[in-house]
Amino acid sequence: MTKTYSLPSLPYKYSDLQPHISEKTMTLHHTKNHQAYVNGANAALEKLEKARKGELQIDTRAVLRDFSFNVDGHILHSFFWPNMAPPGKGGGKPGGKLSDKIDKDFGGFDKLRTQFTDAAKTVEGAGWALMLYDAETDQLVLTQVEKQNNMHLAQMPVILGIDLWEHAWVHDYLTDRPKYIEAWWNVVNWSDADSRLAKVVH
pLDDT per residue, tens digit, the chain (202 aa), is 568 999 999 999 999 999 999 999 999 999 999 999 999 999 999 999 999 999 999 999 999 999 999 999 999 999 999 999 999 999 999 999 999 999 999 999 999 999 999 999 999 888 999 999 999 999 999 999 887 776 654 578 899 999 999 999 999 999 999 999 999 999 999 999 999 999 998 7
Pair 103, 140 in one domain: yes
For the beta carbon of residue 166, count every other beta carbon within 10 angstroms: 15
Provide the residue type at 93 as one letter: K
The rounded distance, in Å, linking the Cα atoms of 65 and 97 is 37
CATH number of the domain where residue 34 is located: 1.10.287.990
Same domain? 71 vs 111: no
Residues 108 and 180 in one domain: yes
pTM, whole model, 2 decimals? 0.91
Are 144 and 191 part of one and the same domain?
Answer: yes
Q: What are the CB-based long-range contacts (under 8 Å, 24+) for 155-158?
A: 156/132, 157/132, 157/133, 157/196, 157/199, 157/200, 158/76, 158/79, 158/130, 158/131, 158/132, 158/196
Please check whether residues 117 and 170 belong to one and the same domain.
yes
Query: Considering the domain boundaries, does residue 4 fall inside one?
Result: no
Residue 150's H or E segment, with its range, is: none
Contacts of 1 (CB under 8 A, 6+ apart): 49
Residue 63 and residue 136 in one domain? no
Which residue from 74, 104, 2, 84 is spatially nearest to 45, judged by alpha carbons? Answer: 2
Given this model, what pLDDT does residue 167 score?
93
Please, is 64 exposed, middle or buried when counting C-beta atoms within 10 Å of its C-beta (0-12, 13-18, 19+)?
middle
The tally of domains found in the chain comes to 2
Question: What pLDDT is stored for residue 149 in this prediction?
Answer: 72
- Structural domain containing residue 28: 23-80
Residues 110 and 180 in one domain: yes
Q: Do 101 and 196 share a domain, yes or no?
A: yes
Q: Which residues pair with 73 in a beta bridge?
A: none
